[in-house]
Structure 1
């Protein structure tokens, strides 16, 4: 299985970077993992909804330029479907079995994802109704993908 994490912005804090690196290393045993970062737009405080939308559209165009034909796109969004770790593992297995083995998880910037990205997504996934920094979300996503592979293979992993 090939998994791409497509994210707006870079991981800046060393502790997030170290955690992500650990899960990237662990995932090498289970899948081909690729992480693509696109530039984020500066978001001034107190801007209008129109400016917010334009910022999301610019970031969305950058994200969409990396999504190729045949990729199965899972957008991370608060309004997406919430799954347990076991349900996520089952979903990954199901996608692999039916031939959707080139997955792209998309993490938006501070304003979320554009309408165009959400329309391109094959499904959306929510880890919580809470908002997380995109850098932390990357670590959480990597850990859950790793946990999903461990569950699929019935390998032990702490609960």
Structure 2
């Protein structure tokens, strides 16, 4: 009998993509952040356990590229282990420095502490000359007091 151990989907994803090093490429604008969970923890591998908003309500994270970048893959990872809620996120991009935005996608996810606690989405895109990439997170479309969070955001 012959046997091979296959890499997990997550290990394979990390191995086959050359994710951008965002630190020298972007300026970040955010509507809020919990000092214990800064945005760098979601954008830079190995920095921490993700970003979290300082309070409830919709939040926006804006990446401003200098110089503009082509993007082909976008990975978003969210985790919620304590509050049952339905989250919506909207991803937009701009080629003109934020004067006009085009929606890339809009998606909802139901988090349930007893079941679905992690959302990982990897989107194939073909965006040329991205000057601004914006992520809007509505942590609870029902208007609850949940805080937005983002475990990881990777771009290639």
* Fold shared, TM-score > 0.5 on shorter chain: no
Higher strand share: 2
Q: Which has the larger radius of gyration?
A: 2
TM-score w.r.t. the length of structure 2 is 0.29
TM-score of the superposed pair, with normalisation by structure 1? 0.29
Q: Greater share of helix residues, 1 or 2?
A: 1
